[in-house]
A and B are shown apart, each in its own frame.
Chain A
Amino acid sequence: MRNRFRASIVYAIPAYLVLVFLTACAGRTSSGSPQAAAPPDLNGVWSAPFTPDISKTLGHQPPFTPYAAERFKKEDEVDDPLTQCLPIGPARGIQAGIMPFQIVQTPTVTAILFENQHTFRIIHTDGRSHPADVDPTWFGDSIGKWDGDTLVVDTIGLNDRTWLDTAGHEHSDQLHLVERFQKIDTNNIKWTVTFEDPKFYTEPWSITLPITRQNTEIMSYSCEENEKDRVHLRRAKK
Chain B
Amino acid sequence: MRLILSIALGLAFILLSASAPVLAHHGFVVEFDEKKPITLVGVVTKMEFMNPHIYFYVDVKGKDGKVTNWALEGGPPNVLYRQGWRKDTVKPGDIVTVKGYRARDGSNLASCTTVTFPDGREISAGPGAVSQGGYKK
Q: Which residues of A contact B (CB under 8 A)?
A: 49-50, 52-53, 76-78, 80, 82-83, 85, 95-99, 115-116, 166-168, 215-216, 219-230, 232-236
Establish whether residues A226 and B78, one from each chain, have CB atoms under 8 Å apart when the complex forms: no
* A-side interface mostly: loop
* B-side interface mostly: loop
Question: Which residues in B have their C-beta under 8 angstroms from that of A166?
Answer: 23, 27, 135, 137
Contacts A220-B78, A221-B76 hold; do A116 and B53 have CB atoms under 8 A apart?
A: no
Q: Is B103 an interface residue (CB 8 A)?
A: yes
Q: Which residues of B contact A (CB under 8 A)?
A: 9, 13, 17, 20-23, 25-27, 29-31, 48, 50-53, 55, 71, 73, 76, 78-79, 81-82, 103-105, 107, 109, 133, 135, 137
Provide a sorted-by-A list of 27 A–B residue pairs whose CB atoms are within 8 angstroms. Answer: A52-B21, A53-B135, A77-B30, A83-B26, A85-B25, A95-B23, A98-B22, A98-B23, A99-B76, A166-B135, A215-B13, A219-B78, A222-B51, A222-B52, A223-B25, A223-B52, A224-B51, A227-B52, A228-B71, A229-B25, A232-B104, A232-B105, A232-B109, A233-B30, A234-B30, A234-B105, A236-B29
Chain A residue, CB-CB nearest to B51: A225
Establish whether residues B50 and A229, one from each chain, have CB atoms under 8 Å apart when the complex forms: no
Establish whether residues A99 and B23, one from each chain, have CB atoms under 8 Å apart when the complex forms: yes
Establish whether residues A229 and B73, one from each chain, have CB atoms under 8 Å apart when the complex forms: yes
